[in-house]
């Protein structure tokens, strides 16, 4: 089964060589470098503490090339809150020491040994059980689940105190460990999927060899599954995955049941639940079926990734204006899980870097409907697909195109896709924030492009919005193929606003070379604007005053004078 890709975090150029060596061991791992200190990092960060804490909270394994103390102090405030934690390691800048710090149950020692091997040093393993037995009993490999962690800890300390142990049942990985085995021992490790209370001095380890095929129509699915397992005397910890028919892919009941039981949910071509179970488990030794639920018990752990397919996912994401700090964390997480990324090339590049296993589909800006349909085709195959927009995906961008493609389609596999729209900071809001609060009162957002709507509609809306004294935000203000429209728009606005009305021009906001300019309606000419510019026009109440550091603040007060608009 796949492990999460670690993040390599460095503070200076001195660690870059070691970081690159480690990166080669983990394809897809990105090097996060401190801004202005590291040249050529994959991701640039400004605040070490915030970056490390965010990675930790997102369960990303962390390889920090710095003093162990810095890492400990940084993560200390989070340690008490978190149950399961990702592996966290400190590695000496020069690669001479590898110190596992946190995440014993998340496999930190395995990671430490791999990195140490790659760097030609010994890992500083401090976990007694692991040192003695060469494996962490409390952290079985994928395909096996530990019955009870607290019991397990006591068990390991008994073993460390010199007790010997008897192994019942088949667990190849345990056979390889250097456990002090003795057929007469009174400590027992029992490996099996039967439901039972652990006997005294017994540690239960469950092989995940049970597949549960379900129909979404079963009432109270999680408890119904528990009941069927109980009747068959099978432990719920042994469930490897839930399997349902393709047609039930969009069922919220199935999704919630899988979540509640903490197991993956997979889908296969329709059939009775018993058929599904039998086909998927292949090597099954027994089948129990009961009212829409069937169990297949295999003779060894099942890998859910090899059973049926997952529900495909399509996320339409907004990158924000450009700067990484303005991208919402949910969008970053979505990019990390994507198999396929679709979008206009400039935006796809802005969303990177990507791992070698992620497929990029870059297209021209105009092919939106085709791109939306392509995204559904990929997601319907069970892939995790991301469609990128700049700013917010719902503002003159891909979200509406994706929904239109879905609305037009009668393909049930498209409608079954797990579709989500993740918001971003739109250019008007990013520009407004830099200028102050020009959109602090009622405002109107318009695209001046007449590619998809008649120009007469645009004129009418401009006229009414300007008359209503709304502040105005213009997207797509001008382009080579639409040279005269902005001039005409400004004429219409000028019929309702004085030449002193404040105007903000934001160009490439949040991107390299950004510019922000405050001017007035009287001084604004179309030559000052291009297609990378956001135009904000104030209302009658918008004001401007100087900033101490130079330039001006622009804001529209929250209140409105009592006199009616003329």
List residues binding ligand SAH (CB under 6 A).
321-322, 389-392, 395-397, 426-427, 431, 475-477, 506-511, 531-534
* Cβ neighbourhood burial of 330 (10 Å; 0-12, 13-18, 19+): middle
β-strand pairing of 436-437 with 384-389: unpaired
> If you count them, how many residues does the chain have?
566
> Between 171 and 509, whose beta carbon lies closer to ligand SAH?
509
Q: Is 94 helix (H, G, I), strand (E, B) or coil?
A: coil
Q: How far is the CB of 414 from ligand SAH (least distance, A)?
A: 23
> Between 280 and 435, whose beta carbon lies closer to ligand SAH?
435
CB contact at 8 A, 492 and 460: no
> Between 126 and 451, whose beta carbon lies closer to ligand SAH?
451
501: tokens are 């009305």
Q: How far is the CB of 539 from ligand SAH (least distance, A)?
A: 20
Q: How far is the CB of 457 from ligand SAH (least distance, A)?
A: 17
Among the listed residues 22, 86, 17, the one whose alpha carbon sits nearest the alpha carbon of residue 55: 86
Number of Cβ within 10 Å of residue 404's Cβ equals 14
Q: How far is the CB of 517 from ligand SAH (least distance, A)?
A: 12
Among the listed residues 25, 347, 514, the one whose alpha carbon sits nearest the alpha carbon of residue 6: 25
> Between 40 and 513, whose beta carbon lies closer to ligand SAH?
513
Q: How far is the CB of 2 from ligand SAH (least distance, A)?
A: 33
> Between 6 and 322, whose beta carbon lies closer to ligand SAH?
322
In the complex, which residue's CB is closest to ligand SAH? 391
> Between 210 and 534, whose beta carbon lies closer to ligand SAH?
534
**Phi and psi based region of residue 353 (left: phi greater than 0; alpha: psi -120 to 50; beta: remaining):** beta
Q: How far is the CB of 269 from ligand SAH (least distance, A)?
A: 39
Q: How far is the CB of 404 from ligand SAH (least distance, A)?
A: 16
Give the start-end residues of each E strand in 430-524.
Answer: 436-437, 443-447, 471-475, 502-507, 515-520
How far are the Cα atoms of 125, 148, 166, 469, 541 from residue 561, in angstroms, in the given order? 70, 67, 84, 12, 8
CB contact at 8 A, 375 and 387: yes
> Between 104 and 321, whose beta carbon lies closer to ligand SAH?
321
Question: Could you write out the DSSP letters of every residue in 397-452?
Answer: SHHHHHHHHHHH---HHHHTSEEEEE----HHHHHHHHHEETTSS-EEEEE---SS
What gap in Å lies between CA 449 and CA 365, rounded to an integer? Answer: 14
> Between 100 and 343, whose beta carbon lies closer to ligand SAH?
343
Q: How far is the CB of 485 from ligand SAH (least distance, A)?
A: 12
């Amino acid at each position: 089964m796949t492990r999460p890709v670690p993040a390599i975090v460095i503070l200076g150029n001195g660690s870059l060589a070691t970081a690159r060596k480690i990166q080669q061991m983990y394809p897809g791992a990105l090097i996060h470098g401190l801004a202005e200190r590291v040249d050529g990092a994959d991701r640039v960060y400004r605040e070490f503490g915030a970056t490390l804490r965010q990675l930790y909270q997102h369960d990303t394994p962390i390889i920090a090339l710095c003093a162990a103390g810095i890492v400990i102090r940084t993560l200390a405030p989070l340690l008490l809150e978190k149950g399961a934690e990702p592996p966290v390691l400190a590695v000496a800048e020069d690669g001479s020491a590898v110190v596992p710090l946190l995440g014993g149950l998340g496999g930190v020692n395995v990671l430490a040994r791999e990195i140490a091997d790659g760097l030609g040093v010994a890992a500083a393993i401090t976990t007694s059980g692991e040192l003695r037995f060469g494996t962490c009993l409390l952290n079985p490999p994928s395909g096996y689940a530990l019955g009870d962690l607290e019991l397990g800890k006591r068990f390991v300390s008994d073993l460390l105190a010199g007790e010997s142990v008897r192994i019942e049942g088949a667990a190849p990985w345990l056979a390889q460990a250097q456990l002090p085995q003795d057929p007469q021992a009174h400590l027992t490790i029992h490996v099996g999927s039967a439901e039972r209370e652990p006997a005294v001095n017994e540690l239960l380890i469950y092989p995940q060899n049970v597949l549960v095929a379900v129909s979404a129509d079963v009432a109270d699915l999680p408890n119904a599954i528990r009941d069927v397992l109980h009747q068959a005397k099978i432990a719920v910890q042994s469930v490897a995955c839930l399997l349902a028919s393709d047609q039930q892919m969009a069922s919220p009941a199935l999704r919630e049941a899988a979540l509640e039981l903490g197991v993956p949910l997979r889908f296969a071509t329709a059939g009775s639940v018993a058929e599904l179970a039998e086909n998927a488990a292949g090597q099954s030794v027994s089948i129990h079926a009961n009212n829409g639920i069937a169990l297949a018990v295999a003779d060894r752990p099942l890998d859910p990734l090899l059973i049926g397919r997952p529900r495909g996912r399509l996320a339409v994401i907004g990158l924000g204006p450009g700067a990484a700090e303005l991208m919402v964390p949910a969008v970053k997480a979505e990019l990390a899980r994507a198999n396929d990324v679709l979008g206009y090339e400039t935006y796809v590049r802005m969303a990177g870097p990507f791992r070698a296993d992620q497929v990029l589909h870059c297209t021209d800006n105009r092919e939106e409907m085709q791109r939306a349909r392509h995204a559904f085709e990929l997601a319907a195959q069970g892939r995790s697909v991301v469609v990128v927009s700049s700013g917010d995906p719902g503002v003159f961008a891909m979200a509406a195109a994706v929904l239109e493609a879905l609305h037009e389609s009668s393909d049930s596999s498209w409608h079954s896709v797990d579709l989500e729209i993740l918001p971003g900071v739109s250019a008007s809001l990013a520009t407004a924030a830099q200028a102050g609060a020009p959109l602090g009162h009622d405002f109107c957002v318009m695209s001046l492009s007449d590619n998809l709507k008649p120009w007469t509609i645009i004129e009418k809306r401009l006229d009414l919005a300007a008359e209503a004294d709304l502040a105005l935000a213009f997207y797509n203000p001008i382009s080579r193929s639409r040279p005269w429209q902005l001039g005409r728009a400004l004429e219409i606005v000028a019929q309702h606003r004085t030449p002193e009305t404040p105007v903000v021009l934001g160009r490439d906001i949040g991107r390299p070379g950004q510019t922000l300019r405050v001017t007035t309606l009287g001084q604004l000419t179309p030559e000052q604007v291009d297609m990378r510019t956001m135009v904000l026009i104030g209302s009658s109440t918008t004001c401007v005053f100087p900033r101490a550091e130079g330039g001006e603040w622009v804001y529209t007060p929250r209140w409105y004078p009592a006199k009616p608009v003329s």
